[in-house]
Amino acid sequence: MSTEDEATGIPAPEGITEIIDTDYEIGQDNVEGQVGPFGFDVHNPVFMVSGLCIVAFVFYALALPEQAASIFGWLRPWLTSTFDWFFISAANVFVLFCLFLIVSPWGKIRLGGREATPDFSYSGWFAMLFAAGMGIGLMFFGVLEPVYHMAISSPLGTPSPFDADGNLIPANVELAKEMGLAGTIYHWGLHPWAIYAVVALALALFSYNKGLPLTIRSAFHPIFGDRIWGWTGHFIDILAVFATLFGLATSLGFGAQQANAGLNHVFGIPVGIPTQVILITCITGIALVSVLRGLDGGVKVLSEINMGIATLLLLFVLLAGPTMLIFTDFGEGLVAYVKDLVPLSNPIGRTDDAYRQGWTAFYWAWWISWSPFVGMFIARVSRGRTVREFMICVLLIPSLVCVLWMAVFGGVAIDQVLTDPANSAVKAQVIDSYNPPLSLFAMLEGLPLSSITSVIAIVLVIVFFVTSSDSGSLVIDTITAGGKIDAPVPQRVFWATFEGAVAIVLLIGGGLTALQAMVISTGLPFTLVLLLMCWAILQGLRSEPR
């Protein structure tokens, strides 16, 4: 027999009714928070500790930029070379866990209860998933990564198609091309979306089905019990804020550099830190407007605009490029990914350090840092879905779309490199001089109407930039307010502003190396949080009525 929690109206399963009611009341006291100066809703120590630490970090990096740059430059390679095995192993656990839930009897459980219905249509839901989850990354790495893996990083020791003098080696071309796509798809397929799905499912399950506040600590009730309302829970939420903020800052830094490169390519605007600081400042201002409009009026509208523009650009590149070759690359890349998934996922006994440590370890740390942000955002828009529907849509469908994106943009770029290496702008920017932010525009330069499509690409990067900052600040705001969805406006403005500030000081204090160092350093401890979260999800699903 089930009873209904008076505070939420959500049915509580037999056997845990009393626990949920008690904890929810405790959680509600925390959610209410304390209204402090400037209208902030201070949620016990979480807002104060995380806010003060972020402010202190910004002032340190601005006051001692050379010292900060030196620390960041050492930190990134040390973390990736020391803990690459841990990141790869943990990501494998998340994929297997998600696939298990799809086929398990628990897949029938509905997020929000048996009578819950979805809040958004499939089109709106998918749009928000992509805009929040991988928008800037797809734009930045869609051309860069397939070409780089084909020619330089050599996943699994695959030989390069170029010799030391830059001449093609015909015998190596097909295998290198195939592995370039497979190595890229590995970073954008099942593993990152499994990381997001674990956090999103945990938050949705314990919020919508158990009646607990929508915050990271709620997922750990089966493990820590009432201690989630004390310093154990405070620590988890503070760590989630740090991971989210630095994960977002990394994406904003990538976006700023790519937008700057595009503006230079099209309009001749100088490339450099001052321009990128101005870009981050202006785009953060636009994001503030979207933040104030809320989820439906801001994030949802911009996400749908994103999807529309991205689809048009994808179709243009598909039709203007070698269309049949792209479809062939899509199939061959997918087959190669499936064939090499186990070797690529193996953390030991490999010699491809440049790929495994320089790319895979960084990516898994980046996705894990993003997981509180993307996971909570997905949870907020996924009420009413069954666990099986949720996992299939969040895990499998986005992975296929990412494969298509990489096959189109990466396939066209690889074709340009291999067809005419001497005159390929992509080869010049990725292989010869390594200028990542310009790689997308170099590929578009080899297609018709490049002046128009380059402007569209700049707009798309900027809009992705805005939606990431917008949705990220809403999520951080929810965490620091203890799960309160509609926290005070000044608090949302604070977090949106400091997201931009952190991205700026990291660019000043070491560029991409600093951004990557901080995302790995916060992703490392949060990996342990996600592993514990898998166990908590199982306990939560077991307590659900069949």
Residues pairing with 12 in the sheet: 3
Model confidence pLDDT, tens digit, residues 84-121: 999 999 999 999 999 999 999 999 999 988 888 888 77
b or e along 77-98 (b: 16 or more beta carbons within 10 Å of the residue's beta carbon)?
eebbeebbebbbbbbbebbebb
pLDDT at res. 507: 79
User: Which position has the higher pLDDT, 38 or 234?
Assistant: 234
When divided into structural domains, the chain yields a total of: 1
| Least confident segment among 11-20, 157-166, 296-305, 415-424 | 11-20
CA 75 from chain centre, in angstroms, equals 21
The helix/strand/coil state of 477 is helix
H or E, element range at 12: strand 11-12
**CATH label of the domain that carries residue 296:** 1.20.1730
Q: pLDDT (tens digit, 9 = 90+) per residue, 239-282? A: 888 888 888 888 788 888 888 998 998 888 898 888 988 988 88
Report the chain's C-alpha Rg in angstroms: 23
Average predicted confidence (pLDDT) for the chain: 82
pLDDT number for residue 61: 76
Cα 476 from Cα 238, distance rounded (Å): 10
d(CA 415, CA 434): 18
pLDDT of amino acid 410: 93
Average pLDDT estimate for 58-64? 77
Full 3-state SS string of 185-213: HHHHCHHHHHHHHHHHHHHHHHHHHCCCC
Is pLDDT at 519 greater than 70 in this prediction? yes
Q: Are 326 and 407 in contact (CB under 8 A)?
A: yes
152, pLDDT greater than 70: yes
What percent of the chain shows pLDDT beyond 90? 29
Question: What does the block give as tokens for 25?
Answer: 């009341």
Angle at alpha carbon of residue 186, lines to 185 and 187, rounded to 5°: 90
Given this model, what pLDDT does residue 128 score?
Answer: 67
Kindly indicate the confidence band of residue 19, based on its pLDDT and cuts at 50, 70 and 90. very low
pLDDT at 295 over 60: no
Amino acid at site 410: G
Alpha carbon distance 503, 515 (integer Å): 8
Number of residues written out for the chain: 546
- As a whole number, mean pLDDT of residues 144-171 equals 89
Between vectors from CA 422 to CA 418 and to CA 423, what angle results, nearest 5°? Answer: 95
Residue numbers of the domain that contains 232: 3-542
Q: Using one digit for the tens of pLDDT, what is the confidence trace for 463-507?
A: 877 777 777 777 787 787 776 666 667 777 777 787 888 888 777
Model pLDDT, residue 499: 80
Alpha-helix residue ranges (DSSP H) falling in 38-188: 44-63, 65-103, 122-133, 135-148, 170-188
For residue 230, give Cα distances in angstroms to 15, 32, 152, 373. Answer: 24, 15, 49, 22
pLDDT (tens digit, 9 = 90+) per residue, 388-426? 999 998 888 788 888 889 989 999 999 999 988 888 899
User: What's the whole-number mean pLDDT along residues 43-59?
Assistant: 78
Q: Report pLDDT for 42.
A: 56
CA angle 454, 142, 180 (to 5 degrees): 140
Mean pLDDT of 213-220: 89
Question: What share of the chain in percent tops pLDDT 70?
Answer: 85
Crossing angle of the two packed helices 44-63 and 489-508, in degrees rounded to 10: 30
Measured at the CA of 360, the angle between CA 159 and CA 177, to 5 degrees, comes to 30
pLDDT the model gives residue 512: 67
CA-closest candidate to residue 455, choices 445, 446, 465, 468? 445
How many angstroms separate the CA atoms of 419 and 417, rounded? Answer: 6
Q: Which residues contact 288 (CB under 8 A, 6 or more apart)?
A: 493, 496, 497
Q: Spell out a b/e string for 372-394, using b for 16 or more CB atoms within 10 Å of the CB, else e.
A: bbbbbbbbbbbbbbebbbbbbbb
**Quick one: pLDDT at residue 199?**
94
Asked if the model's pLDDT at residue 235 lies above 80, the reply is: yes
Higher pLDDT, 125 or 334: 334
Per-position b or e across 485-504, b if 16+ CB within 10 A of its CB: eebbeebbbbbbbbbbbbbb
* Pair 365, 85: CB distance under 8 Å: no
* pLDDT computed for residue 398 by the predictor: 80
Q: What is the C-alpha separation between 476 and 516, in angstroms, rounded? A: 20
The residue type found at 176 is: A
Q: How far is CA 249 from CA 71, 207, 382, 458, 465, in A?
A: 18, 27, 25, 19, 10
pLDDT over 80 (residue 149): yes
DSSP annotation of 110: B
Spatial contact of 519 and 369, defined as CB atoms under 8 Å apart: yes
State residue 329's pLDDT score. 84
What was the pLDDT predicted at 468? 74
Q: Can you tell me the distance from the alpha carbon of 358 to that of 80, in angstroms, rounded to the nearest whole number?
A: 7
Average pLDDT for 231-238:
89
Q: What is the pLDDT of residue 1?
A: 34
Task: Output 61 or 366, whichever has higher pLDDT.
Answer: 366
**Residue 353 scores a pLDDT above 80:** yes
What amino acid is encoded at 137 in this protein? Answer: G
pLDDT at 43: 52
CA proximity to 392, closest of 108, 165, 184, 135: 108
